[in-house]
Amino acid sequence: MNPAIIGAIFVIVLYLTASISIGLYSGRQNLNTSEDYFVANRSLGLTVMFFTLFATNISAFAYMGAPGGAYHLGTGFFGYLATTTSLSAIFFYLIGYRCWLLGKKYSFMTPAELFGKRYESKALSVVIFLVYIFFTVPYMAVQPIGAGYILSGLTKGTIPLWVGVLMIVVFVGVYVYIGGLRAVAWTDLFQGIVMIACVMLAFFLITSKIGGPVVVTQDVMSNYPELLTRQKFTIKSWINFGLMIMLCISVFPQMFTKFFAAKSSKALKLSASLYPLAMVVIYIPVLFIGVYGHTIFPNLQGKESDQIIPMVLGNYYALWIGAILLSAVFAAIMSSFSSQLITISTLFTKDIYIRYIDKKANNAKQIAIGRICTCVLVILTVIIALKPPATILAIVTWAFSGYALLAPAFLAGLYWKRSTSIGAIASILSGESVLLLCGIGIFPKSLMFGFDAFVPSLIVSIITLVLVSFCTRASEVEKKTATELHNYLDPIFTDNRIKNPKSRDESFSV
């Protein structure tokens, strides 16, 4: 075997070993309660909270799709991608803070639990659960598929795709199984640091070989001036992408459940404040590498540009150095996949098993069910990843839109006391239906007015929520619950004072 490939494999195994060691060590700190296993005993401080939110949301796209997009679309892709992603932090506060307050007081662990209780609707809980499962399970499979391709390409086929898939799934599965969210959060801390360090180092190493940022930018300006403008982006495309990203990130299931895990409001608020800065730190280097790559490999077509970072690194540096820098990609994949694993396990345990199968399950049984669910998901992920159906990429493409269409019902539940359970259910189902009809070409394009499918779907979802809520009456139980929740939340914001949530009225129970 080529010594260079052996060196690259050693680097990869070393990184995976470090990740699983951190996960296993932090998992040993568990208190053997369901609250600790699923939401880390609501104890994540500022540093861990910030990095787990950051690492969870940064997938392999940031290191492959983003520079690949910048290769074709230019630096305007930064404003299109990083700006709209950063604005999602607004909804970390609008949604995340209120959900943290309610979770802290009433022990909620999932969005279906919270909004099912707010609207006093088991049907709504099921709808939320099904939407999350439909979009998340195939999305999970894409992560190890990406890892398999990268490992196979990096080692020039020495590690086949299926081995790469199994390596990532098994390593991640083990520490999620043992340590739950606490293990996920602490490995996210490590992986987030790796992401930032590796991308900054890659930018420095690459630009140092091509004359430095000033020289190569002048080269791009002379030969590819269109790559330094925003001319390829329209106002409608900004509205499409901006609305979708701003709404969907805060309601990602893997992000939402972590709102419940924050130790304090300060940890959550400062994490939201730092999040836009992290997006800038990540996206500026990778997007400029994509643009600068045009001067080295000028004729890449389509998805070939997704490999621009490993291609440029391979052009100038030894394979093992490329493996070190590509650890950022593995960090992104592992952090996203691990968060999705523990989240789906939490959703199934709390929203299905406890609610419909065994309402009296003790802590040990709940943790056991979560772990069984993790094992099932690992097996299912491997099956899908090794033989993905043709529709999987289409589902993933629509996943962000599908998640975002939950936002109107969630925001109404937190801010609009008059919204009803029937209105919330109708909002979600109508929005998702229009999205599906647009996807299969039944919804008339003339009614989309040049927008992508998400915008008309969102409009339908909001209008349906308002109209149906006004046309239906909430039950007395639903009215009482909504009133008590809002009576708890509203004074906190009206008076602009944040105290220990449990010091307030404890009369409401779930």
Could you give the number of structural domains in the chain?
1
Q: How far apart are CA 88 and CA 94, in angstroms?
A: 10
How confident is the model over 77-118, as pLDDT tens digits? 887 777 777 778 888 888 999 999 999 999 999 999 999 999
In a domain, 376, yes or no: yes
Note if the pTM is more than 0.75: yes
What pLDDT score does 116 carry? Answer: 95
How confident is the model over 109-129, as pLDDT tens digits? 999 999 999 999 999 999 999
How confident is the model over 439-470, as pLDDT tens digits? 777 877 777 777 888 899 999 999 999 999 99
**Helix/strand/coil for 433:** helix
In a domain, 430, yes or no: no
Q: How far apart are CA 386 and CA 426, in angstroms?
A: 37
- 3-state SS track over 84-149: HHHHCHHHHHHHHHHHHHHHHHHCCCCHHHHHHHHCCCHHHHHHHHHHHHHHHHHHHHHHHHHHHH
Residue 504 banded pLDDT, cuts 50, 70, 90: very low
In a domain, 354, yes or no: yes
Please say if the pLDDT value at position 47 is more than 90.
yes
- Whole-angstrom CA distances from 147 to 94, 141, 171, 359 are 34, 10, 12, 39
Whether the Cβ atoms of residue 409 and residue 112 lie closer than 8 Å to each other: no
In a domain, 325, yes or no: yes
Which CATH number characterizes residue 60's domain? 1.20.1730.10
In a domain, 392, yes or no: no
- Mean per-residue pLDDT of the chain: 87
In a domain, 294, yes or no: yes
In a domain, 372, yes or no: yes
In a domain, 437, yes or no: no
Please say if the pLDDT value at position 481 is more than 90.
yes
Residue type, 70: A
Domain containing 195: what range? 3-386
What pLDDT score does 503 carry? Answer: 42
Most confident range (mean pLDDT) of 20-34, 261-275, 388-402, 454-468 is: 454-468
